[in-house]
Amino acid sequence: MKISIIGSGYVGLVTGACLANFGLSVTCVDNDEHKINLLNNEKIPIYEPNLEDLIVKNVKENRLKFTTDTKKTIQESQVIYIAVGTPPNNDGSARLHQVEGVAKDIGKYINDYKVIVNKCTVPVGTARKIKQIINSYSSSPLKEDPSHTPSNSRRDSSNISSPLRGEGRVRVNHPFDIISNPEFLREGSAVYDFTHPDKIVIGYESEKAKKIMQEIYRPLYLLDTPFLFTNLETAEMIKYACNAFLATKITFINEIANLCDRVDADVHHIAKAMGMDGRISPKFLHPGPGYGGSCFPKDTRALHAIANNYNYDFKLLKAVIEVNSRQRQMVVDKMTQEMRTLKNKKIGVLGLAFKQNTDDVRESAAIDVIKILLQKGAIIQCFDPMAMENAKKILPEIIYCQDEYETAKDADALLILTEWDQFRNLELNKVKKQMKWHEYGLIFTPFIFDMKNLYEPEKVKEYGYKYYGIGRN
């Protein structure tokens, strides 16, 4: 079975590499020639733990290839995955021009039966839209119209439709099936998530396509992975529902943390107690500056736009989106309250990626907080183990440092915004010597604003810091 993955971004590369590692023949396609050249030279354009080793291994074993030749790859593949971007429109709805472009290409080049698997996060109804586009563009070499033959003899035309009159020729539509197979990959652990998923969701219409998908994912059956087979619309909705609920959990614990700051309660103890309840679970109950990345912000807004399109007032989701945006400002408000002014203050920022183990800065809370600090007149120097090159494209005006300790040098305050493991065990005495000290009441002390709650407040205070977390004061 030959498989093609159209789109060699984050989802496409992980999907392609993992399927190849299942023993399948996979070709990843992208119209970005530079990206394909990098991949063909064993250079990976994104950072994701374990992905590079997986790609190199399967390229060497000739199961994984990269190309820009869309036509050839479509025609040689039995199964075609669509894994392109769905960036937001101004109203928050998902922009589908890339998905539609792939559907048009499939329609143009389809030459026999194909299974089209949509991996993108898309609005309900997109699978049927893809099907419609492929049908409207699909054709094989045009055949003569039987009505124009001299003998007017009858021919088998069961697979012929859409006559092109006046030419004596007709368009031939090839059979295909659509599958909706949403991804649930977490950046930073995507390879593990693909090979050890908590579920596989497959929206389908035909038993033939269902059996082909079961064969592709057969290695996961051996791990007793739960499979959910449903219709196309339900599969599309599942992805949005999952991400929106997780975003809601993050937002809820942030609201509890903000309230804890006012009532002298400890959000860590509260989150731990909540997580002990089997109905709630401890996952995603970690307060911070708000969710970010390529999925949660985009998907919550897209689901809200879907609700608006169907004249439904999704009040809870609207509140989640608004509160998450406000959480960035609350970080800066906390700093302003304690430092009195941020103008001309040098702030050392640890963390730029939206989470650890990725170089992704898309809609990162850290980037948003830095932008607000710059508006307040602060001077920013920062460090992130993986994301600085991507951040430079957005924030070229700030200072980029070599490590955590250079970031602390002469800083009026240290601000932690990403939960990288190496930030959890800073040499606090060394950091303190690097920083500026400020008068606080009758003592002089450096400021640490730990917006990921990586440290125990009392321990940090023993080193002579004025420490601020979220919901831990």
* Cα–Cα distances in angstroms (integers) from residue 79 to residues 75, 76, 378, in the given order: 10, 9, 53
Q: Assess whether 295 carries a catalytic annotation.
A: yes
What is the spatial distance between Cα 368 and Cα 132, in angstroms, rounded to a whole number? Answer: 40
- Which of the residues 18, 28, 260, 295 is marked catalytic? 295
3-state secondary structure the chain: CEEEEECCCHHHHHHHHHHHHCCCEEEEECCCHHHHHHHHCCCCCCCCCCHHHHHHHHHHCCCEEEECCHHHHHHHCCEEEECCCCCECCCCCECCHHHHHHHHHHHHHCCCCEEEEECCCCCCCHHHHHHHHHHHHCCCCCEECHHHCCCCCCCCCCCEEEEECCCCEEEECCCEEEEECCCCCCCCCHHHHHHCCCCEEEECCCHHHHHHHHHHCHHHHCCCCCEEEECHHHHHHHHHHHHHHHHHHHHHHHHHHHHHHHHCCCHHHHHHHHHCCCCCCCCCCCCCCCCCCCCHHHHHHHHHHHHHHCCCCCHHHHHHHHHHHHHHHHHHHHHHHHHCCCCCCEEEEECCCCCCCCCCCCCCHHHHHHHHHHHCCCEEEEECCCCHHHHHHHCCCCEECCCHHHHHCCCCEEEECCCCHHHCCCCHHHHHHHCCCEEECCEEECEEEECCCCCCHHHHHHCCCEEECCCCC
Q: What are phi and psi of 306, to 5 degrees?
A: -60, -45
Cα separation, 301 vs 319, whole angstroms: 11
Q: Which residues are catalytic?
A: 295
